[in-house]
Amino acid sequence: MAALTLQDLAERLGGTVSQADASFAIAGVANPEDAQPQDLVFLVEDKYLDAIEACAAGAVVARAPVSGKATLVVKAPREAMARALALFAPQQPAPQCSERAAVDPSATIGFGVSVGPNVTIGARARVGRGTVLHPGVVLGEDVQVGEDCVLYPNVVVREGCRLGDRVIVQPGAVIGSDGFGFVTLPDRTHLKMPQIGIVEVQDDVEVGANVTIDRATIGTTVIGQGTKIDNLVHVGHNVRIGENALLVSQVGISGSVTVGDRVTIAGQAGIAGHLTIGADTVVAAKAGVTKSLPSRVMVSGFPARPHREELRRQAQIERLGELADQVKALQAAIAAIQEG
C-alpha cells in the first residue's frame, strides 16, 4: 500500500484535497506521537489539534485544512479513519484448508473458506463462503456459520449454534456453553437442568476475546444484528440482545434478560435475571441493574437508578460532614437557648 497518495485516499473515502497536497505518498498511518514525515494522521476531535500540528506527520485527515500538513478534508474524520485503516490492515490469508484440520465428512464447507491447522468441524456443520476459521477453532455438530465471518484462534461454537454473516469472533470466545441451571433437591445437592437450546448470533455481530455466551435451556439465546460485545463479557442462557447494542468489557447479563436495540452497557456492569432493558437505554460502568428499565434512560449506581438521581444522591453523601456540623451547631444553639 506504500504507493497510495492522498488523492487516492480522497477518491476512496470521499473528501477533498488541495492540488498541492494531492501527490503526497502515504508511507503508513500513525499516532501523532509516533508519526514520521511520510505518515498520515487523523484529527478526529478538535481538542487534539495542537498535538496534530506539532507532530512530524506530513499529512492529516481532518474537518478543515491543518496548517503545515497536506490535508484531506472530510465531513466525518472518525468514519474516514475507520475506512482508511481498513486499507492498511493486514489482509486475511489466502483461502486454504489445512491438512491438520479435522473436518467431518458430513460438514458443508463453502467456496473460499479458510480452515486453519487444528480446526475441528463437527458432523453436519455448515460454513458459508469466504469465512476464515483460524487455528484451533472448534465447531460442534450441526453448527451453522454464515458467509465472510472471521473466527479467531481457539474460538469454540458448541453443537447446534448458529452464526450469521460477517460475524467476527475474537480468540478464545465460547458460544453455546451450558447455562447455569440447577434444581436444588431436598438433600441440598443440585440437579443439572439440561441445556438443550442454542445460541443465535445474527449478522454483523462482533464477539470479544474470552467472552462466554450460554445456550438457552430451551429455545434460543439471541445476539441481535450489529451488536458488538467486548472482551470477557458473560451472557447468560435465554438472554435476548437487540440490534446494534454495545456491551463493554466484563459486563455480566444474567439469564432470561431482554436487552433492547441500541442499548449501551458500560464496563463491569451487571444485569439481574429476567429483567427487560428498554431500547436506547444506557447503563453506566459498574452499575448493578435490579429492576427492568424503560427506553431512553441512563442509569448508574447499585442498585441502579436514573443517573441524575444517583448524582444527587452522591452529592448528598458528599455534604454529610457539613450536615453533621450543622446539627452540632444547632445542638449548641439550643443548649444556649435552654440555658439562657
Contact pick of 209, 275, 297, 298 for its own copies (by CB under 8 A): 209
- SS3 of the chain: CCCCEHHHHHHHHCCEECHHHCCCECCEECCHHHCCCCEEEECCCHHHHHHHHHCCCCEEEECCCCCCCEEEECCCHHHHHHHHHHHHCCCCCCCCECCCCEECCCCEECCCCEECCCCEECCCCEECCCCEECCCCEECCCCEECCCCEECCCCEECCCCEECCCCEECCCCEEEECCCCEEECCCCCEEECCCCCEEEECCCCEECCCCEEECCCCCEEEECCCCEECCCCEECCCCEECCCCEECCCCEECCCCEECCCCEECCCCEECCCCEECCCCEECCCCEECCCECCCCEEECCCCEEHHHHHHHHHHHHCHHHHHHHHHHHHHHHHHHHHC
- Cβ nearer to its own copies, comparing 111 with 186: 186
Min dist. Cβ of residue 110 to its own copies (A): 21
Contact pick of 128, 130, 224, 236 for its own copies (by CB under 8 A): 236
**Active-site residue among 134, 190, 234, 237?**
237
Identify whether the C-beta of residue 263 lies closer than 8 Å to the C-beta of residue 242: yes
Q: Taking CB under 8 A as the rule, does residue 170 contact its own copies?
A: yes
Binding mask 67-106 for its own copies (x = CB under 8 A): ---------x-xx-xxx-xx-xxx--x----x-x-x----
Q: Determine whether 98 is exposed, middle or buried from the number of CB atoms within 10 Å of its CB (0-12, 13-18, 19+).
A: middle
Min dist. Cβ of residue 266 to its own copies (A): 9
Q: Taking CB under 8 A as the rule, does residue 34 contact its own copies?
A: yes
- Cβ nearer to its own copies, comparing 165 with 230: 230
What residue type is 268 in one-letter code?
A: Q
How many amino acids of this chain bind its own copies (CB under 8 A)?
110
Helices 307-318, 320-339: axis angle to 10 degrees equals 50
Identify whether the C-beta of residue 267 lies closer than 8 Å to the C-beta of residue 283: no
Q: Taking CB under 8 A as the rule, does residue 330 contact its own copies?
A: yes
Q: Taking CB under 8 A as the rule, does residue 29 contact its own copies?
A: yes
Q: Taking CB under 8 A as the rule, does residue 178 contact its own copies?
A: yes
Contact pick of 270, 277, 281, 283 for its own copies (by CB under 8 A): 270
Within 184-203, the residues that bind its own copies by CB under 8 A are: 185, 188-194, 196
Within 101-130, the residues that bind its own copies by CB under 8 A are: 102, 116-118, 120
Q: Taking CB under 8 A as the rule, does residue 38 contact its own copies?
A: no
Q: Taking CB under 8 A as the rule, does residue 307 contact its own copies?
A: no
- Cβ nearer to its own copies, comparing 23 with 329: 329
Contact pick of 167, 199, 222, 232 for its own copies (by CB under 8 A): 232
Q: Taking CB under 8 A as the rule, does residue 146 contact its own copies?
A: no
237 is catalytic: yes
Min dist. Cβ of residue 283 to its own copies (A): 13
Contact pick of 272, 275, 297, 298 for its own copies (by CB under 8 A): 272
Q: Taking CB under 8 A as the rule, does residue 258 contact its own copies?
A: no
Contact pick of 14, 135, 278, 306 for its own copies (by CB under 8 A): 135
C-alpha cell at 25: 505518498
- Cβ nearer to its own copies, comparing 291 with 312: 312
Residue positions annotated with a catalytic role = 237
